[in-house]
Structure 1
């Protein structure tokens, strides 16, 4: 399975995983001039900006390791744009990474890293 197909599948199951854990999905693949956020979800008064990283194995490291400083800054700028655009300044927010391992055996595993990085 190529990386694009694997990534798309990961984002689909990520939304379901988050919903199963009490999150409301506000947006998928939110795009602004500053970048893209895979999933924007909320739980109570908290907005979670979720970067989904899916890998077939740990051969090249943990999926979250791909969310480098440059990628984090793009996500932060895009989240700030979203907060302003939607008028959500009164909400708390955080930046999460949802790792998905999808080996060829088909047994997917999930790891939600809450507060994976901070704005600023």
Structure 2
């Protein structure tokens, strides 16, 4: 596995543990369709949360959440629509979050959970 993929996986694993500690249940990880992937799908109460994880070792290239462009948001929303069609979560409200993971070597320095980071302009 490449260094970048290992770094990203460590960030995603850290985000999943963080969400579980906050009372979320992880429903799926790395849900993939042809053109998009959702890093984590979690549930707390009756809210299904689609989570994009961005890990960084520094902010020279901007904040992690700034890497979730409008185009990336559209792809995540598209994948969420497919997930909702395939699974039985029609009674759940949905939300799109970003989890920023700041890493220094093999250590997590900080995790920021941005709830409602972006919204769907129409029903999915």
- In terms of mean alpha carbon deviation, does 13-22 or 104-113 score higher? 104-113
Deviating beyond 4 angstroms after TM superposition, the runs of 4 or more aligned structure 1 residues are none
TM-score when normalising by structure 1: 0.93
Partner of 1:99: 100
Structure 2: runs of 5 or more not aligned: none
Distance 2:50 2:111 in 1: 17
Q: Which residue of 2 aligns with 1:3?
A: 4
Where does residue 60 of structure 1 map in the other structure? 61
CA RMSD of aligned residues (A): 1.5
Q: Does 1:48 align with 2:49?
A: yes
- Please state whether the residue corresponding to 1:108 is helix, strand or coil: strand
Give deviations 1:78-110, integer Å, cap 9, x for gaps: 001111110322110100000011124835200
Q: Distance in 1 between matches of 2:80 and 2:93?
A: 12
- 1:1-120, aligned counterparts within 5 Å? 2-104=3-105, 106-120=107-121
TM-score computed with the length of structure 2 as normaliser: 0.91
Aligned residues: 120
CA distance in 1, matches of 2:25, 2:106: 30
